[in-house]
Amino acid sequence: MIETRSLVKVFRGRRWTVEALRGVDFTAPRGSITALVGPNGAGKTTLLKVISTLILPTSGEAYVDGMDVVSRAKDVRRVIGLVTVSDRLLYYRLSGVDNLTFYGILYGMPTSYARARARDLLELVGLGEWGKEPVMHYSTGMMRRLAIARALMHDPDVILLDEPTLGIDAASSRRVHRLLGELSSGRTIVLTSHLMKEVEELAGSIYVMRAGRIVARGTAEEIKAMAGRIVEAGLKPEAVDEGLSKFVVRSEPGLVIVRAPEDIIPESAVYVRDVEPTLEDAYVILAGEGGADLRPYQFRRGGAHAHGGHV
């Protein structure tokens, strides 16, 4: 189980200050998948990095299986597996089995056990036939699955995944989805994603973040209900102002199609019809679009340690 209380994280530079987390209260229970969604810069990755002990919180508390992530950081690291967007944690010249074996040895496993564990996990993620192949020959989807296997080497109780299907094809995404469903039994799994269909399929609980705050939480159905009455409307291009632009779903000859709350549709609409709100509709209403991230690149997604953090 994961729990945070009034969690705050502030990044500071000489000429900039960014409040990445602003009093976040978050809970992820064991035995299910919890999703964090929000625009870029909302604080999702920062929250995962605090939970995984990669950076220190500015204030507030965070616990993993009852252990404080600050005072018991080493113990927390033993029970979590982390899958990041970056593939820099994989060694391209090593084979898949050698990559996993290396990480197993880092966790104190005897070499023979680590190698056997590596082979088992490669089979689990569908890479058994590729185990001896250098990772430089893997596709993006294969590397994502290898990263999941790496996170599972020490059989963690908690798995944190930052956009686990980013940049991979539909078939690989489905394989990852099935794998995560199987892994969720008896474990705490938290993932971030921009794909609302993926979130709805996998997550039992969803937290919507915006500008470092939790703005909504609940099941997919509860989040969709927060959208209120949604309509689809066909508008002339000149009728789509800045407030409506984020609701545009497609264009047709001479028309721009929007899905938005009924009360913001102009009277000049060519047509209006009721539709069932989707999770994506609710997300756009609740989270909107991301703002500018003022931090230098190396501080985003935890590329380098920031003020108050550690590597």
CATH code of 177's domain: 3.40.50.300
Task: Tell whether 257 and 181 lie within a shared domain.
Answer: no
Q: Do 127 and 26 lie in a common domain? A: yes
Residues 85, 168 within the same domain: yes
State whether 12 and 129 are in the same domain: yes
Q: Is residue 288 part of a domain?
A: no
SS3 state at 108: coil
Q: Tell me the backbone φ, ψ of residue 107, rounded to 5 degrees.
A: -85, 10
Strand order from edge to edge, sheet including 255-261: 248-252, 255-261, 230-235, 271-275
Question: Is the residue at 28 inside a domain?
Answer: yes
Question: Domain residues for 270?
Answer: 229-276
Q: Tell me how far apart the alpha carbons of residues 236 and 246 are, in angstroms, rounded to a whole number.
A: 16
At 235, which amino acid appears? L
How far apart are the C-alpha atoms of 151 and 76, rounded to whole Å? Answer: 14
Which H or E run contains 75?
A: helix 73-79
Give pLDDT tens digits for 215-234: 999 999 999 999 999 999 99
Residue 163 lies in a domain: yes
- CB 165 within 8 Å of CB 172: yes
173/271 same-domain check: no
Is 204 in the same domain as 257? no
- Please count the structural domains in the chain: 2
Q: Return the pLDDT at 87.
A: 64
What residues of the chain score a pLDDT lower than 70?
A: 87, 289-311
Same domain membership, residue 20 and residue 142: yes
Residue spans of alpha helices (H) in 140-241? 140-152, 170-183, 196-202, 220-225
Q: Is residue 311 part of a domain?
A: no
The answer to whether residue 261 sits within a structural domain is yes
> Between the CA of residue 41 and those of 55, 191, 216, 301, what are the distances in Å?
16, 16, 17, 9
| Residues 220 and 249 occupy one common structural domain | no
Question: Does 131 lie in the same domain as 44?
Answer: yes
pLDDT reported for residue 123:
93
In a domain, 287, yes or no: no
Residues 78, 150 within the same domain: yes
Coil vs helix vs strand at 44: helix
Residue 298: the pLDDT is 45
Cα-to-chain-centroid distance, residue 75: 23
Cα end-to-end distance, the chain, whole Å = 24
85 close to 166: Cβ distance less than 8 angstroms: yes
* pLDDT value, residue 290: 54
Question: Is residue 307, in this structure, part of any structural domain at all?
Answer: no
Mapped onto helix, strand or coil, the DSSP state of residue 289 is coil
Q: What is the pLDDT of residue 166?
A: 85
Q: Encode pLDDT of 54-78 as tens digits.
A: 999 999 999 999 999 999 999 999 9
- Residue 247's contacts (CB-CB under 8 Å, 6 or more residues apart) are 258, 259, 260, 284
Tokens of 56: 């220190």
**272, part of any domain:** yes
Q: What is the pLDDT of residue 306?
A: 41
User: What is residue 65's predicted lDDT score, i.e. its pLDDT?
Assistant: 96
User: Do 214 and 164 share a structural domain?
Assistant: yes
Position 175 scores a pLDDT of 87
Clarify whether residues 40 and 139 are in a common domain.
yes
